Copies of this chain bind each other. A is one copy, B any other.
Amino acid sequence: MSEDELPSNWGRWGADDELGTLNLITDEVRERASREVRTGRSVSLAVPIQPSPVLSGPFPPRTAEESPVQQLMLYTGNPALAYADAMTVTNHHVLSTHLDALAHIPQDGQVYPGRPASESVTMGGVVHGSTTAFADGIVTRGVLLDFGANGPVPADHTITARDLTAAEERFGVHVESGDALVARFGWVRARYRGNPMPGMTVDAARWMHDRGVSLYAGDLSDAYPPAQPGIPPAMHGVALPRLGMPLIDAVDADELAAVCAELGRYSFLLVAAPPRIHGLTGVPVNPVAIF
């Protein structure tokens, strides 16, 4: 497979587009999503983050566990009439559920949909393809394909287009244009950096393209080591930069899977509304599935 054969949405929504596959979330999609809401029961898809403290007194903790967030308790007067804090957040962290903006990964010096990376990303922030695209929050129908229902997907396994279709049939659901795809590998508690892990094939990314997936959210996405050497990784190398598909990394879909199994349905309203901070390459998010 040559690079030319990789699926792409460059140009599909114009040369200045910043929404990418979020363009697929039309009024019709939203209306379909709305029909998923029947009881109001909701489930978070985010990994909890316990911030590390930054202390200044004489007896700070000796060890702090790695965390995507460093917290600083702030002085607010003496006596303190309020308690307040600031935090330093690493936007792309393996232990943080976060939404990747399209400028996160360049391809051949360009970011989606073909804008020069050097003009899109500056030392002062991101001017094209940033989190500004998520300003209003993402509201669409979500579909869970639970590949980890019978235990974690083996580290040397890949998920292909055929697997995706088979899972649809197994769970009685059909991914339609504008849907968010939630994939569960069963790895949220097993994931370690640098260890081998399974992932999607480029074939699977093409399936998502064909179906019109607007957003991918998974506990894993790309295999490590790379599934297909010489070919860009399916999600961060093809889906994000070429399809313009935002990715939610480090999702915890365990409770979601339990609820879907309990209710016997694998579709829901998905709301992914990160803080409305523009100009970032990514941002922490707490995606919520509503049934």
- Which residues from chain B contact A284 at a C-beta distance below 8 Å? 275-277
Q: Is A230 an interface residue (CB 8 A)?
A: no
A51-B280, A276-B49 known; A86 vs B91 contact (CB < 8 Å): yes
Q: Is A172 an interface residue (CB 8 A)?
A: no
Cβ-defined contact, A275 with B49, below 8 A: yes
The CB with the most chain B CB atoms within 10 A, among A39, A43, A124, is that of A124
Other-chain residue from B44, B63, B77, B88 in contact with A123 (beta carbon distance below 8 A) = B77
Cβ-defined contact, A123 with B53, below 8 A: yes
Other-chain residue from B32, B53, B103, B137 in contact with A288 (beta carbon distance below 8 A) = B137
Cβ contacts A to B, 26 pairs, < 8 Å: A30-B42, A31-B39, A34-B290, A37-B269, A42-B137, A51-B125, A53-B125, A55-B90, A55-B124, A56-B86, A62-B193, A63-B65, A72-B72, A73-B75, A78-B80, A80-B106, A81-B105, A82-B105, A82-B236, A83-B281, A85-B280, A86-B91, A87-B280, A96-B275, A139-B290, A276-B286
Q: Is A60 an interface residue (CB 8 A)?
A: yes
Q: How many Å from the CB of A39 to the closest CB on chain B?
A: 5
Q: Is A126 an interface residue (CB 8 A)?
A: yes
Contact-residue bracket for chain A: 35 or more
Q: How many Å from the CB of A59 to the closest CB on chain B?
A: 5
Chain multiplicity (copies): 4
Cβ-defined contact, B89 with A273, below 8 A: no
Q: Is A50 an interface residue (CB 8 A)?
A: yes
Cβ-defined contact, B83 with A121, below 8 A: yes
Q: Is A69 an interface residue (CB 8 A)?
A: yes
Q: Which A residues from 241 to 291 make CB contacts under 8 A with B? A: 269, 271, 273-288, 290
